Structure 1
Amino acid sequence: MVQGLPLVITINRQLGSGGAFLGRQLAEKLKMLYLDREIINKVAEELGTLPENLEWRDERIISKWQAIINSIGYSQSVLYSPAEYIMPSDKEIFKAESDIILKIANERSAVIIGRGSSYILQNHPNHVSIYLHANVEFRKQRVQEIYGVSSEDAIKSMESSDKFRARYIHELTGLEMNDARQYHLSIDTGVLGLEKAENLIYDYLRTRFGNVDSIIKN
């Protein structure tokens, strides 16, 4: 533990494994900042665009043809704006996200969801990286409950999300998202359940840091 630096918890996850739920639970109980889609708003502000222009690219890599087509469409939509806007590249978006995540991690204790944050903060001494995964049935039921979709649509969403997130991590960091060796904790929430998974995280924090409250900076 390094005194003077805040505690930062990053959570990478498979869709439906409970990443957002457990992230909010941890942030609320430990009185830490919670960052998920809020990062999109900050990146949009940094790049001088609207959040909705980046939401469809959240945690995914697009092909060169997709970039060209979407840039053309976007250029037409802002044809009468004072200045031409060029759609940022994947690397530019990731660089903006990285800068924001690094800045927050040096100033405030936070729970950060996805976006390569476990890689970005790998050298942060008070960083805890967590990976959540689960069996298909557990994930499918949660996706159906949360989004109100059919079993078939839940499966399609899971497969699509897994593919996009894995490619995003690999393309921008060179790592494999499902490689447990890059995380401090890898938890199968389908086996433990969300409540026991949360307790396991608290046990890890206490074992590693002792009095967690002593390093939380709000």
Structure 2
Amino acid sequence: MNKVITISRQYGSGGREVGQKLAEHYGIPFYDNELITRAAKESGFAEETFARAEDKATNSLLYSLAMGINVYGNQDFGFSGLSLDDRIFLAQSDVIRKVADDGPCVIVGRCADYVLKERTNTFNVFVQASLDFRLKRVVENYGESEKKAGEIILKNDKRRANYYNYHVGEKWTNLTNYDMVVRSDIAGIDKAVESICTYLGE
């Protein structure tokens, strides 16, 4: 298998688990939070800075305004003239390209489909599911109450959508941006993995 697989997913849909199982099936590296750790190490930014950059994406208008402000004043991190968030995104994108250069792998989130869009060996997957399915997973997997689970799902989906829109300039849920869309609530996690492998012909 000579593909870099990117996974975009609705919160609670099991997309991360799908990505992990794909990586295990093919015996290739899996990247999620590992990207933040590596990007932080290579760029000199604290890991918390990467997390905060994504967490700020809660309101598209306010987010865009906030990200236009260089919160570190005139301090230069090598991306002179860019906002802090743009610097963070560029550092993270650089790491995504590097791990893709290293060979086949699975990358979850972080606009990887966009960062690697010019590469012919990239296969982009979007994992989605019904709200009921996602509520159940969040309650069972994270121990949240059903009421709290709904708030968490809404917040995280909105954050991911705004983060993607800000950096990519397109809707995160525009399914035409992906090579394959999987309904994990209908297929189940294992069948979703199997379907992707079948589609890839592996």
Q: Shorter-chain TM-score category?
A: 0.7 to 0.9
2:52 maps to 56
Runs of 4+ with >3 A deviation: 58-68, 84-88
Using the TM superposition, give the Cα deviation of residue 66 of structure 1 relative to its aligned residue in structure 2, in angstroms: 8.0
Deviation at 1:71, TM superposition (A): 4.4
1:66–1:121 Cα change, 3 Å: closer
Other-structure match for 1:31 = 27
Contact 2:182 2:192 in 1 (8 A): yes
Task: Name the residue aligned to 1:168.
Answer: 163
Instruction: For 2:124, give the aligned amino acid.
Output: S
Worse-superposed segment, 50-59 or 165-174: 50-59
Q: Which has the larger radius of gyration?
A: 1
> Residue type matched to 2:88 in 1?
I
What residue number does 1:43 align with? 39
Any residues of structure 2 matched to 1:130-209 within 5 Å, and which?
130-206=125-201
Instruction: Find the aligned partners of 1:30 and 1:24 in 2 and give their Cα distance.
Output: 10
Identical residues among aligned pairs (%): 34
RMSD over aligned Cα, in angstroms?
2.4
SS at match of 1:57: helix
Cα 1:60–1:33, aligned 2, differ >3 Å: closer, same or farther? farther
Whole-angstrom CA distance in 1 between matches of 2:42 and 2:83: 11
Q: Which region of structure 1 is more displaced relative to structure 2, 187-196 or 21-30?
A: 187-196
Once the two structures are TM-superposed, the CA of residue 46 in structure 1 deviates from its matched residue by: 2.6
**Structure 2 Cα separation of the partners of residues 124 and 117 of structure 1:** 11
Q: What is the distance in 2 between the residues matched to 1:34 and 1:67?
A: 32
Provide structure 1 residue ranges, at least 5 long, that are not aligned to the other structure. Answer: 76-83, 207-211, 213-218
Q: Distance in 2 between matches of 1:18 and 1:109?
A: 21
1:60–1:165 CA contact under 8 A, matched in 2? no
**Residue from 99, 106, 109 that aligns with 1:111:** 106
The separation in 1 between residues aligned to 2:169 and 2:157, in whole angstroms, is 16
